[in-house]
Amino acid sequence: MTALKRNNVRVLGNGKQPIVFAHGYGCDQAMWRFITPAFRENYQLILFDHVGAGQSDLSAYSRSKYGSLRGYAEDVLEICRELDLKDTLFVGHSVSSMIGVLAGIAEPARFSKLVLIGPSPCYINDGDYVGGFNRPDIEGLLESLESNYLGWSSSMAPAIMGNPDRPELGAELTNSFCRTNPEIAKHFARVTFLSDNRNDLPKLKVPSLILQCSDDLIAPEAVGRYLHQHLGDSELRVLKATGHCPHLSAPEETIEAMRAYLS
């Protein structure tokens, strides 16, 4: 099976320089629909679904391969190889930010810049490091998810989205969570929330932009500042947007920040 089929890859746009868009946990490539029109004229856009999400091929799922974020990073690199992408811009949301970092470490010559939206190298507080959650909080979250995935999705998705004055955004994320294969989603959650990529950060040589949201439940501002300190060639931009999904809640601000950096 080709990576293009496995990951339901779509190639759009009229430009030559490629931008790979990688969606976050519980989402699919449709989550970029407010962002992609702004870049379609001048770039080649590559959209895909992680295995287990969207229209990806579920038969390709392997608990061993996807038992760490490196399995997902390898998928990104396979897509890049099959499309022969060079001078690639990578845009990753949430957990896909670290997937992009790992891909950039593995094959730095393939990428020119990374845009990391709501990234976190580690979600669990550890000594002086503030990840946003204590370990018992994460264990409780994963237990709740294991026992009642749909109930967990209905309560957590609106909290992750933020913007309680716009309930339609939380409803969209809830519906996206509920469309994801539950067994794969449970495993991906465990892999995501227990990951720790802090030691990988100094290895990245590709320039990166960190887009940090205000009042983000999943990746608080301290996490963005930690990343900026430990990624050698990085810029940090704190958005006015609140919540964890500015590409949905504040696409204009997200586009403006991306354009300013990419140009």
56, 9 contact by CB (below 8 A) = no
Residue 202, Cβ density class (10 Å: 0-12 exposed, 13-18 middle, ≥19 buried): exposed
Q: How many residues does the chain have?
A: 263
Do the bridges between strand 234-242 and strand 44-47 make them parallel or antiparallel, or are there none, so unpaired?
unpaired
Tell me which H or E stretch contains 85: none
* Given the residues 56, 75, 94, 249, the one annotated as active site: 94
Question: Active site includes 137?
Answer: no
Q: In the block, which residue shows the tokens 């890049």?
A: 80
- Cα separation, 95 vs 73, whole angstroms: 11
Q: Which residue from 16, 40, 219, 29 is spatially nearest to 122, judged by alpha carbons?
A: 219
Q: Choose the catalytic residue: 176, 244, 247, 249.
A: 244
Ranges assigned E (strand) in the chain: 10-12, 18-22, 44-47, 88-93, 111-117, 208-214, 234-242
Catalytic residue, chosen from 28, 75, 200, 216, is 216
Q: Strands 10-12 and 44-47, how do they pair? A: antiparallel
Find the largest Cα–Cα distance for the chain.
48
Q: What is the residue whose two structure tokens read 């990073």? A: 73
Q: Catalytic residues, which ones?
A: 94, 216, 244
